[in-house]
Structure 1
Amino acid sequence: MSFQAYLDSLEDKTGQTPDQLLALAHARGFGADTKAGEVVSWLADGWGVGRGHAMAFVHVLKNGATISDRHVGTTGTHRDASTALRLDGRARR
């Protein structure tokens, strides 16, 4: 599953775009220095989100909407089209 696909699935599971989840996380006081386990628990308790999807969100919370180019342009299951992640939701594409 690509990194973007994890975020898209997170939107399906929560009904919130990644941008909306970021706003909710920041309102709770979560930021780049928040421990991953706290965010994982929050997503699991609130929406039943699994660890893999939650960790993709943790990456965005800590690092922003950019990922490594390691899988960009590859043909594997983890391939992404770009190093830029879309956080504004599927409907905006």
Structure 2
Amino acid sequence: MSFQAYLDKIEEKTGRTPRELVDEAVKRGYTEVKAGVICDWLKEDYDLGRGHAMALVHVIKNGSRISDKHVGTTGTHSDPSNLLWLDGKATNPLNA
């Protein structure tokens, strides 16, 4: 599953865009906490499992850029861009 696919699935599971969840995390002061704190919050409030939570942890702590390592590869973790779309699956220009 690509990084973007994880974020799209988070939106499907929670009804909230990744950006909305990042904004909530920032308001809670979660940019400087350990990943476990964020995972616990996402599990308790949104019933997200660890894999999906860790994808969001990465975005909360590092922003929407990912490594070029898997961009344009043929593997299962391939992403089309090193910039993740956080504003909702339906508005992603790469899905058009």
TM bracket, shorter-chain basis:
over 0.9
Structure 2 distance, partners of 1:45, 1:79, is: 30
Q: How does 1:5-44 map to 2 (within 5 A)?
A: 5-31=5-31, 33-44=32-43
**Residue in structure 2 matched with residue 63 of structure 1 by the alignment:** 62
**Residue in structure 2 matched with residue 73 of structure 1 by the alignment:** 72
**Residue in structure 1 matched with residue 88 of structure 2 by the alignment:** 89
Q: TM-score, normalised by structure 1?
A: 0.95
Write the deviation string for residues 43-77 of structure 1: whole angstroms up to 9, x where unpaired. 00111100000000000001000000111111110
Please tell me the residue identity of whatever aligns with 2:80.
A
**Residue in structure 2 matched with residue 50 of structure 1 by the alignment:** 49
Residue 84 of structure 1 deviates from its aligned partner by: 0.3
| Gap regions ≥5 residues in structure 2 | none
Please tell me the residue identity of whatever aligns with 1:73.
G
- SS of the aligned residue for 2:70 comes to coil
Q: TM-score, normalised by structure 2?
A: 0.92
- SS of the aligned residue for 1:75 comes to coil
Hey, which bits of structure 1, 4+ residues long, moved more than 2 A? none
